[in-house]
Amino acid sequence: MKKKNNNLFLIKKINSLLIILLSFQSLAQDSLSLKQEINQHKKGIGLWWTGHNGWIIKSDSLVISIDLLLNYDKRISSPPIDENEIAELLDISFITHGHKDHFARSISKKLVQKSKCIFIIPESCLSIAQELNIPKNRIVIAKPRIPFELKGIKIIPLRAIHGNSDFAVYYKANLEDCGYIIEIGGKRFLQPGDSVLLEDHFIQKNIDVLFFSPTEHNMHIKNSLTLIEKLSPKYILPQHHSTVVVNEETYFWAKGYHKEVKEKLPANLSKRYYILNQGDKIQIK
């Protein structure tokens, strides 16, 4: 009986030690900087939200970003990664259009100086790229509906037509602006950019990851639901929310209705809906 009690005591001790070790491991992972987390991601596809329309995708060793917005005077909180840190990691920077909250000048200047990344930009952004002194050999011009490949990635630029307040199409909307389908690591990502809902979006097939902007000047609630239900993607990720100060001047583009969209989704799609905090990671499977 004594031997049995000793064995139970040892089992309990081992279990307690395992719990402590797992707790330390969890704390260590939580304390990793975003740069360290990206560096330590070695296999498969990792996806991080950096706020607004900013995404970092790492597939095996290749690191790409979309519309990074880090240092910005209208930010509510500090960005989850430093501009110098991401400059050390980035291989490709995708830009959808020329507005400063998408083609962010500060990070783009830093990438020119501190990285060797390639910039994929719409033709509408060429003059801005020249102002930023981005070398010609580091620029790839994306044109709507003309696919191309780069570094093993298949890219289909999509038409993007910018919206404005009161659900109107923007007076200065540029038909050269782009959204993108990015096929990387065997998965298809759809980034519409800043655009009202277009047939270009919902005729797409086999979309694994959908980024969408439920703001008044983009797809708001109804059209966001239409796009999600048409595509039925495996991962549904709202963007363009909870990053920039919302006031009378910014509300139509800074306020996202991401929670309202989720509330209206059927259960099968709601399970695939992820509202991330800045710096959060999803492993795309």
CATH code, domain with 133: 3.60.15.10
Note the pLDDT of residue 142. Answer: 98
* 99-147 pLDDT tens trace: 999 999 999 999 999 999 999 999 999 999 999 999 999 999 999 999 9
Q: How far is CA 262 from the centre of its chain?
A: 18
> pLDDT per residue over 36-54, tens digit each?
999 999 999 999 999 999 9
d(CA 271, CA 244): 27
User: What would the 3-class secondary structure string for 185-211 be?
Assistant: CCEEEEECCCCCCCHHHHCCCCCCEEE
Q: Does residue 6 belong to any structural domain of this protein? A: no
Residue 2 covered by a domain: no
- Evaluate whether residue 84 is within a structural domain: yes
Which amino acid, 181?
I
Q: Is residue 103 part of a domain?
A: yes
Average pLDDT over residues 7-21: 48
CA-to-CA distance for 155 and 243, rounded, in angstroms? 27
212 falls in which pLDDT band (50, 70, 90)? Answer: very high
Stated as kind and residue range, the H or E segment containing 50 is strand 45-51
- Quick one: average pLDDT of 192-197? 98
What's the chain's average pLDDT?
93
- Tell me if 211 is assigned to some domain: yes
- pLDDT value of residue 31: 78
For the record, the structure tokens of 264 come out as 């209206």
% pLDDT > 70, the chain: 89
Distance CA 243, CA 79 (A): 9
φ/ψ of 192, rounded to 5, equals -70, -15
Say if 12 falls within a structural domain: no
pLDDT at 56: 99
Number of C-alpha atoms within 13 angstroms, CB side, residue 49?
22
Q: How confident is the model at residue 30 (pLDDT cuts 50, 70, 90)?
A: low
Q: d(Cα 240, Cα 220) in Å, to the nearest integer?
A: 11
User: Residue 179 and residue 200: Cα distance in Å, rounded?
Assistant: 10
Structural domains counted in the chain: 1
pLDDT tens for 163-194 read: 999 999 999 999 999 999 999 999 999 999 99
- Whether 104 is in a domain gets the answer yes
Residue 254 sits in which domain range? 34-284
Report yes or no on 7 lying in a domain: no
